[in-house]
């Protein structure tokens, strides 16, 4: 299956009862919001591509105009993103160079589509608009065909100290999260910067079970703490077409498999923490796609963090065939990456 075939020929799903209820509520809220004068705004997310296609990611919401102007994506933050009204089935016009395409948002207003595009390696800009809204710029990182190394990173307790019980993470991140209230895991931002310096052109993907609602907040957190820019791969919040709640583990599992399919020439450094699921998911992926894994790096939680996380992953969840390293911070992981030749000793100085 080619990446572009994902958006073609898909039959309309039979919706779970919870999804039908959610759709009716969203429909009522959208009608009410439009009558109140709210207008569509496109919230752009960073995408990626390989030079022949790009993965376009964004969300369409209704928001109140500010000072008689169209609402800006940066004005939608924290819990306000959650209370903003998604526009199901919104038409989004994407402009890539001189080419325009119209994409359709899903039930939650999210656009996640592959579009044919001829773009050079590195960072590129595309524009997005919906229902005549002011065009916004979305960044796209195009992976050079010669690239052989990339980074996939978890967020909670890997780049950002969470220290919350896992069952409460989704609610906290959705309703409360503020980039000023969270603190980074020591040394991981420097580690990623050094890895990209050692491997020029390496893509960086932040893979999390968080909701798209908090993508702008997470982006600001990463930028504020000098993490290298990359693509956020999040999920929606609430019922799916066939179940009451989305599976965060399945989201990570399918995202990793998709990256292996889209970039078969790239070997990924998989970075996570030992708070239950990452070692098992990464080990499973390494067993299925050993040719796509450069190494697995696990951040060891402190005793207190592990208690909040509900325990640690069992040691026997480690897979074979790829290097495994672990340390409590970025500096410790960097030292071990030198030992397995993924980082130059000069990059740890």
| CATH number of the domain within which 50 lies | 2.60.40
Classify residue 62: in a domain, yes or no: yes
Top pLDDT among 146 and 302 is at 146
Top pLDDT among 164 and 154 is at 154
Domain with 76 in it: 14-27+39-142
SS3 99: strand
| Two tokens, residue 338 | 């030198």
- Tally of domains in the chain: 2
Q: What is the model's pLDDT at position 7?
A: 44
Classify residue 3: in a domain, yes or no: no
Classify residue 1: in a domain, yes or no: no
pLDDT, one tens digit per residue, over 50-106 is 999 999 999 999 877 665 444 454 444 444 555 678 898 899 999 999 899 999 998
Judged against a pLDDT cut of 60, whether residue 237 lies above it is answered with yes
Judged against a pLDDT cut of 70, whether residue 313 lies above it is answered with no
- Residue 222: band (very low, low, confident or very high) from pLDDT cuts 50, 70, 90: very high
Task: Work out the mean pLDDT of the chain and round it to a whole number.
Answer: 80
Classify residue 119: in a domain, yes or no: yes
- Chain position carrying tokens 């889209």: 262
> What pTM does this model have?
0.83
Maximum average pLDDT range among 126-140, 208-222, 312-326: 126-140
Q: What is the model's pLDDT at position 162?
A: 72
Q: Is the distance from CB of 37 to CB of 65 less than 8 angstroms?
A: yes
Residue 299 neighbours by CB under 8 Å, 6+ apart: 157, 158, 185, 188, 271, 272, 273, 274, 326, 327, 328, 329, 333
Judged against a pLDDT cut of 80, whether residue 215 lies above it is answered with yes
Top pLDDT among 289 and 77 is at 289
Residues 238 and 331 in one domain: yes
Residue 183 neighbours by CB under 8 Å, 6+ apart: 160, 161
Q: Which of 151-155, 208-212, 252-256, 345-349 has the lowest mean pLDDT?
A: 345-349
Residues 205 and 328 in one domain: yes
Query: Among residues 89, 123, 142, which one ends one of the domains?
Result: 142
**How does strand 204-211 pair with strand 231-235?**
parallel
Classify residue 32: in a domain, yes or no: no
Residues 136 and 212 in one domain: no
Q: What is the model's pLDDT at position 75?
A: 42
Q: What is the model's pLDDT at position 142?
A: 98
Judged against a pLDDT cut of 70, whether residue 296 lies above it is answered with yes
Using CA atoms, how far apart are residues 299 and 327, in angstroms rounded to an integer? Answer: 5
Q: What is the model's pLDDT at position 26?
A: 61
Taking alpha carbons only, the member of 26, 47, 67, 61 closest to residue 133 is: 61
Residues in the chain: 349
């Amino acid at each position: 299956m080619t990446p572009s075939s994902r958006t073609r020929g898909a039959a309309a799903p039979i919706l779970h009862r919870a999804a039908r209820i959610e759709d009716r509520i969203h429909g009522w809220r959208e009608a009410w919001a439009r009558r109140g004068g709210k207008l569509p705004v496109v919230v752009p997310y960073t995408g990626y591509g390989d030079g022949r296609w790009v993965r376009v990611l964004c969300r369409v919401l209704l928001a109140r105009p500010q000072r008689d102007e169209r609402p800006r994506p940066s004005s939608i933050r924290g819990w306000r993103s959650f209370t903003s009204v998604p526009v199901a089935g919104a038409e989004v016009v994407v402009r890539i160079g001189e080419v325009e395409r119209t994409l359709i948002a899903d039930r939650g207003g999210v656009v996640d589509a592959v579009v044919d595009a001829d773009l050079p390696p590195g960072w590129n800009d595309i524009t997005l608009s919906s229902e005549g809204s002011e065009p916004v710029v979305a960044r796209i990182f195009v992976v050079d065909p010669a690239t052989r190394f990339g980074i996939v990173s978890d967020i909670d307790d890997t780049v950002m100290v969470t220290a919350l019980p896992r069952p409460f993470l989704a609610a906290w991140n959705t309703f409360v999260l503020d980039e000023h209230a969270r603190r980074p895991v020591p040394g991981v931002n420097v580690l990623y910067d050094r890895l990209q310096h050692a491997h020029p052109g390496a893509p960086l993907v932040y893979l999390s079970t968080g909701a798209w609602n908090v993508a702008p907040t997470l982006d600001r957190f990463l930028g504020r703490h000098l993490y290298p820019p990359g693509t956020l791969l999040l999920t929606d919040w609430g019922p799916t077409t066939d179940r009451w709640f989305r599976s965060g583990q399945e989201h990570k599992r399918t995202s990793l498999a998709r990256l292996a399919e889209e970039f078969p020439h790239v070997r990924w450094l998989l970075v996570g923490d030992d708070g239950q699921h990452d070692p098992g998911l990464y080990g499973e992926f390494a067993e299925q796609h050993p040719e796509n894994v450069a190494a697995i790096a696990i951040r060891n939680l402190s005793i207190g963090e592990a208690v909040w996380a509900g325990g640690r992953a069992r040691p026997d969840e480690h897979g074979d065939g790829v290097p495994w390293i672990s340390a409590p911070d970025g500096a410790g992981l960097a030292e071990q990456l030198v030992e397995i030749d993924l980082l130059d000793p000069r990059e740890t100085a």
